[in-house]
Amino acid sequence: MDRGGCRMNGGGGGGGDLITLEDLESVSEEQLSDSPEEEQEEEEEDEEQQGRLLQYWRDVARGHQVEVPTDMAEPIHQITTNNDGAHTREQVPFTLITRKDKCGEVVFEKRHYEKAHWACITVHEDTYEQSICYGFMKIMRYICQQNSAEGLSAGWCVSAGSYLGMTIPIVTVVRTDEMHTSLSRAVTVAYYLPSMHQSDRPRPYDPEILIEQWPAAVVYTRAFTGATNELTIIHQINRLAEALDHPAVCVSDSFIVAGYTNPAAAHRQNEIWFLERP
């Protein structure tokens, strides 16, 4: 096949500057890639950004008496760069059943969530904030690095170290005494597996993380902002209980805190969830 007519002008119109397809096909990938100097500069910029993000997390975590280890630099960087506004975070799907409004504000919503697989870890730290921070860091490692393929039924696999994608909310299951005055030290942090991984579930390297199938559930939710600690959670539990017409229909000693921003965020967007009894 004569390719002589497939040309593009590379300069000022002189015949000697024409580039043929044969010329383009002969250029190797190494020649088209960045120079070693440019690659080194990019690596140095990434390392600097990772260092800044890690230091920010450490500064915030220090206020909660939490230590952020150096090996969290890469997961923090991946989570941040993949959720910079250009990428959509998948939300846990639900069907809105009803909503109660008062004076133009949502008092609570009643939703239905389908059964789904979640990656869960139960943490026993001295405070709730310490538990969610340490639990979330382990979940971040699973999302960003420490995972492998579970099955091949869909005709594809997840290679070790794949970035699974962030979903919202990250939820924590808390347990209280009968009077709702204190929280149990056991806190379960859970991450909803993205829809593309619900069937072929990447296996966690961390033996403390379990993949569980949660049954379908009806939940009552109330939104709130700010930090989440034992005092604010107890307060929000009591506020939602007061807002419900029939709180007795819900589980009374186990609740869910749904976080739509990471624990290091200055202004967290949260919800408190009550589970309706089966």
What confidence score (pLDDT) does residue 276 get? 97
Of the residues 18, 48, 81, the one at which a domain ends: 81
Angle, CA 257 vertex, CA 251 and CA 260 arms, to 5°:
145
Residue 237 resides in a domain = yes
Residue 17 resides in a domain = no
Q: What pLDDT digit, counting tens, does each position of 138-152 carry?
A: 999 999 878 984 443
How many domains is the chain built from? Answer: 2
> Within this chain, do residues 105 and 77 fall inside the same structural domain, yes or no?
no
> Within this chain, do residues 204 and 245 fall inside the same structural domain, yes or no?
yes
Residue 140 resides in a domain = yes
Taking the CB of residue 45, how many other CB atoms lie within 10 A of it? 10
Tokens at 242, concatenated: 């007061």
Candidates 246, 216, 263, 253; CA nearest to 95 is 216
Can the peptide bond before residue 207 be classed as cis, meaning omega within 30 degrees of 0?
no
Name the packing angle between helices 73-81 and 128-144 (round to 10°).
80
Rounded to an integer, what distance in angstroms lies between the CA atom of residue 123 and that of residue 185? Answer: 8
> Within this chain, do residues 66 and 132 fall inside the same structural domain, yes or no?
no
Instruction: CATH number of the domain at 115, please.
Output: 3.20.80.10
Name the packing angle between helices 36-62 and 73-81 (round to 10°).
100
Q: How confident is the model at residue 62 (pLDDT cuts 50, 70, 90)?
A: confident
> Within this chain, do residues 147 and 36 fall inside the same structural domain, yes or no?
no
> What integer is the mean pLDDT of 31-55?
71
Taking the CB of residue 89, how many other CB atoms lie within 10 A of it? 13
Between 37-46, 158-167, 248-257, the lowest mean confidence (pLDDT) is in 37-46
Tokens at 232, concatenated: 């604010």
Q: Checking DSSP bridges between strand 90-91 and strand 167-168, what pairing results, if any?
A: parallel
Taking the CB of residue 148, how many other CB atoms lie within 10 A of it? 14
Q: What pLDDT digit, counting tens, does each position of 205-220 carry?
A: 999 999 999 999 999 9
Q: Which domain holds residue 117?
A: 90-275
> Within this chain, do residues 125 and 243 fall inside the same structural domain, yes or no?
yes
What confidence score (pLDDT) does residue 48 get? 84
Residue 132 resides in a domain = yes
Tokens at 211, concatenated: 């993949």
How far is CA 116 from each of CA 35, 97, 222, rounded to the nearest angstrom? Answer: 46, 19, 22
Rounded to an integer, what distance in angstroms lies between the CA atom of residue 9 and that of residue 5? Answer: 12
Of the residues 43, 58, 81, the one at which a domain ends: 81
Residue 154 resides in a domain = yes
Rounded to an integer, what distance in angstroms lies between the CA atom of residue 147 and that of residue 258? Answer: 24
Residue 20 resides in a domain = no
> Within this chain, do residues 122 and 154 fall inside the same structural domain, yes or no?
yes
> Within this chain, do residues 66 and 133 fall inside the same structural domain, yes or no?
no
What confidence score (pLDDT) does residue 187 get? 96
> Within this chain, do residues 129 and 230 fall inside the same structural domain, yes or no?
yes
Residue 44 resides in a domain = yes
> Within this chain, do residues 65 and 195 fall inside the same structural domain, yes or no?
no
> Within this chain, do residues 58 and 127 fall inside the same structural domain, yes or no?
no
R_g of the chain computed on alpha carbons: 25
> What integer is the mean pLDDT of 224-230?
90
> Within this chain, do residues 129 and 196 fall inside the same structural domain, yes or no?
yes
pTM of the full predicted structure? 0.77
For residue 237, pLDDT over 60 is answered with yes
Residue 14 resides in a domain = no
Q: What pLDDT digit, counting tens, does each position of 71-91 carry?
A: 888 888 888 887 665 567 899
Q: What percentage of the chain has pLDDT greater than the value 70?
A: 76
> Within this chain, do residues 49 and 178 fall inside the same structural domain, yes or no?
no
What confidence score (pLDDT) does residue 41 get? 66
Rounded to an integer, what distance in angstroms lies between the CA atom of residue 177 and that of residue 175? Answer: 7
Higher pLDDT, 25 or 266: 266
What confidence score (pLDDT) does residue 161 get? 65
Higher pLDDT, 231 or 26: 231
Of the residues 24, 50, 81, the one at which a domain ends: 81
